[in-house]
Structure 1
């Protein structure tokens, strides 16, 4: 499973989360403590917001610990909203286009998790996208496709609803393919204003998610980067988090239940 970290608040240097802490994202790329595998060596990426609506993006296929450019960039870039990710592939080749975060317009997205049986349902899900959204697909991962499903479901108008409806499209496709629906979804995404995150799984093993105040802001992470220096709050499974400049809201995220309510 991948590791990621995101931050919203007063502008800070990216190194304060990505490279400098004792258990920074760079350290987690080779020694994660709360993932199935301690190594996340299939690429990395950064998306950060500055003076323009669209985020900057830097991704590469090298392990995060082995790229000197990453450390230099994190020492120089200041941002009040950024996403950072180290990848452990569960499908899709190792290429820049398959590294997180993914961006589309002003939106950025990164993911830790997996769509079970993805190769069985991939074609149907891709075909279900509108032409305009399908044309934005550049890689081959289930993560990017889920991001595009969210855009197709009205992400810019209703982030919570779009994520719920995208998850239901995945679950429906699994059922139609004769599969037992299985989805692990711990993701973060932003439009440059608010930072959203979701923690969900169809079983009892949703990938981990934590949040903590950090200086004059708040971070949300796959696992704490400094257990001694922060008061980390575990985000419970089946939760949707919205972090804004004026605080944080946690709401239920229950795609399958929402689907049943609509059918009844």
Structure 2
């Protein structure tokens, strides 16, 4: 990954939804902006629990969201997936993350300069070639929009929210009022400070669960405590509300992992 992209790109990888006529993946709540580019045919995405929300996208961009989405890809189930930090939306795509929060849009509408990226990627013969192409396009976006990246001390704002468990605590670290913090975070990222901390806590628990489950069996009480939840019951309630699964059900659905 080029050093210039490191502050803005969280992950860039190939994906495969699996064998069969239709690969299905549940996209979990996220504190990042995600871009999914299927290798061949368009992707169908709908919000879990929202009938009629399913749409087709040649390449999809999803903002920060607190609900789960279902991604379905027929026949060829491969593609490229990348996630951007909230600051990456402005620095690489040219618009604040708040413009995408809770929404899914086509990449061509969000970043017209990248409209031909799906076709260009389909013509590549290897993953290193695809990765290099995506990185070049992101660097071109950074050259156009990078001046948005440091506005209003947003990096410090995200760090304060990620490193604390209460909004008041983050506001004190930043030397501002809770009202000012709320206004800034809503305006730039499209979620409240409390919602952002909720997403960070959720993602921390997800990482801990997967890492522990791959080594054996994971204690959910320990995951809850290490991720900032009040207790295991709190963890379970949040996971059911945000994903439609309990933690145990989700681990099993992810490939036979157990808690």
| Fold shared, TM-score > 0.5 on shorter chain | no
Q: Looking at CA atoms only, which structure, 1 or 2, has the larger radius of gyration?
A: 2
Report the structure, 1 or 2, having the larger helix content.
2
Q: TM-score range by the shorter chain?
A: under 0.3
- Normalised by the length of structure 1, the TM-score is 0.27
- Normalised by the length of structure 2, the TM-score is 0.28
